[in-house]
Structure 1
Amino acid sequence: MSEPRPERSDRDGSSEAGGSCSIGDGESASDRWSRRVWATGSYEKIAPKYVSMGGHLVDRTAVDSDDEVLDVGCGTGTVAITAARRGARVTGVDIQPAMIEHARTNADTADVAVTWREGDATALPFETNEFTVTLSNLGHVYGDPPDTAAEELRRVTRPGGRIGFTSWTPTSLYPAMAGVVGAVLSPEELPNFSEPPFLWGDSGTVRTRLGDAVDDIAFETQTVQYPALSPEHFWGQTAANSGMFIEILEDVDEGDARELREQLLETIEPYFDDSENAVELEYRLTTATVAEPGE
């Protein structure tokens, strides 16, 4: 993957500008699930495995010092910090306050200026046409309903501005693992999304969601290598740090947990490359330009 050439910017790190968005009583079941899961797990231990994806996303959308950038579902701040290193004016937004704290710490370490806000991908706390570039590295995919998340990406981006995001492809490992979980557990034990989040990695679905409001839509498929010494090693890290799997394993009996582990190890095996000591995770990067009015 090509890596961006960063530029240093002054540090600011304020999260107070304009306050955080109000979520509260209208929050959906999927939003409540997302808040709980991201608070339960230790995503900050997983996120470093995906930092190359953030660099790739910023590079493909050609972020530079003239841009005002929004990072949706910013997590630990990879995309926001990468964009800020290029001199862009950057805001990161996430539904989970704990993620924002990790992101702020990482930005301080990198010595870059980023404004942090709490907010939901389906109700972004920003004005229409506020940003020249709107990005998301796996974060927007949990916004439900997805059509609303897509509309929000378009709404906050100026005409002629760029949208870019990543998602795991539907045939990659994490969707396969989700399929195993869905086969073993009852619907009541699973997160209640209106559509599978991994459909954001399907080009036809994405074209439909973004519709005529964008031009020059393009897709690129890449892989990221998750370091692991075996399928068991990968599963051990996932079970210990993924909020989703922590929640699932807490709710299943011993027999189901054993069956789930065995089936997941079988699922992981084909994706493990013993010559690289890594699990291959395929993702799709989407870029598009927001259409000018009247086009």
Structure 2
Amino acid sequence: MNTTTTDLQAEADRALKAKHRVVWALGDYSAVAREVIPELGRVLVAESGVGPGDRVLDVAAGTGNASIEAARAGASVVASDLTPELLEIGRKDAARQGVELAFEEADAEALPYADDSFDAVLSCVGVMFAPHHEVAAGELTRVVRPGGRLALINWTPEGFVGQLFAIMKQFVPAPPAGVQPPPLWGDEQHVRDLLGDRVNDLTMERRRLAVDRFASGAEFRDFFRDFYGPTAAAYRAVGDDEQRRSELDDALAALGEKHLDGGTMPWEYLLVTARGK
């Protein structure tokens, strides 16, 4: 049997998704969601207008930062993510808080849900990490019903997290051809190109999250090295190369120091809202 280009691409995609699962299972993302960015889930749910009776899908939900807030608002929620380890943490967090919702393993680029299934589709710094942006955008808009709400929060390329990824890019292997950088989802023109003809009432607004968790750049670096999957993966990539590890250490600490202002770091994100078409 001949191996076709399509077969090779499918195999490459499977390998890439397996790698993404490993990366996001590193560290403890729930610590990041709980200690650094908890406000984002509340903002996303408020801006989406999610409430009682709504059927909601959270795409690339991680440990449920937005999902749990949507369920707390009275919605019927499905939290979907590629990484089962994150979903298991989310289940335990939701149970501990007395909040009921479903956690389901799903690929943001091949959602296992019917067209027009949800009143609202959310993603809180999640879907931006799907490697093929056009495909992911198609899935987001496919599963939201006409007139339903789409609401996303994505880190911007110019903001703190965008700069973090620009640094880490220098220490990890190059991604496969066709994979797009996550922070592009924080660029207004890119989002307009992805969603413009698939949605109605598209709005975008840059905002800043005031992060007061870290007293120094070194403290930020150490926390993200230990708990944030992509940063842990960058350290794993440099391995025992002491010079490269020192360069990564210095670059991350310097980034944190540069952005500290009176004990607070402003992390810029793009809030995207739209209506299903």
Aligned to 2:196: 211
Mean CA deviation greater in 48-57 or 29-38:
29-38
Q: Distance in 2 between matches of 1:235 and 1:26?
A: 32
Post-superposition offset of 1:27: 4.1
Aligned residue for 2:275, secondary structure, equals: strand
Aligned to 1:103: 90
Residues 1:254 and 2:265 aligned together: no
Q: Distance in 1 between matches of 2:251 and 2:83?
A: 31
Root mean square deviation, CA, Å: 1.7
User: 1:37 pairs with 23, 33, 48, which one?
Assistant: 23
Aligned residue for 1:212, secondary structure, equals: coil
Aligned to 2:112: 125
The TM-score, its normalising length taken from structure 2, stands at 0.90
Post-superposition offset of 1:78: 1.7
Unpaired segments of 5 or more residues in structure 2? 1-9
Post-superposition offset of 1:107: 1.2
User: 1:284 pairs with 223, 246, 270, which one?
Assistant: 270
Mean CA deviation greater in 148-157 or 25-34:
25-34
Q: Distance in 2 between matches of 1:142 and 1:286?
A: 16
Residues 1:164 and 2:147 aligned together: no
Q: Distance in 1 between matches of 2:78 and 2:237?
A: 36
Q: Distance in 2 between matches of 1:62 and 1:35?
A: 31
Listed as ranges, the matches of 1:60-209 within 5 Å are: 60-183=47-170, 185=171, 189-192=173-176, 194-209=179-194
Aligned residue for 1:127, secondary structure, equals: coil
The TM-score, its normalising length taken from structure 1, stands at 0.84
Post-superposition offset of 1:126: 0.6
Unpaired segments of 5 or more residues in structure 1? 1-23
* Identity across the alignment (%): 33
Residues 1:242 and 2:225 aligned together: no
Distance 1:144 1:82, change over 3 A: same
Aligned to 2:258: 270
Q: Distance in 2 between matches of 1:201 and 1:30?
A: 22
Post-superposition offset of 1:29: 4.2
- Contact 1:33/1:191 (<8 A) preserved: no
Listed as ranges, the matches of 1:222-241 within 5 Å are: 222-226=207-211, 227-241=213-227
Aligned residue for 1:151, secondary structure, equals: helix
Q: Distance in 1 between matches of 2:12 and 2:222?
A: 36
Deviations 1:157-192 (A, max 9, x none): 001101011111111112212222334x36xx2444
- Contact 2:58/2:122 (<8 A) preserved: yes
- Contact 1:173/1:282 (<8 A) preserved: yes
2:200 alignment partner AA: D
1:217 alignment partner AA: L
Distance 1:229 1:220, change over 3 A: same
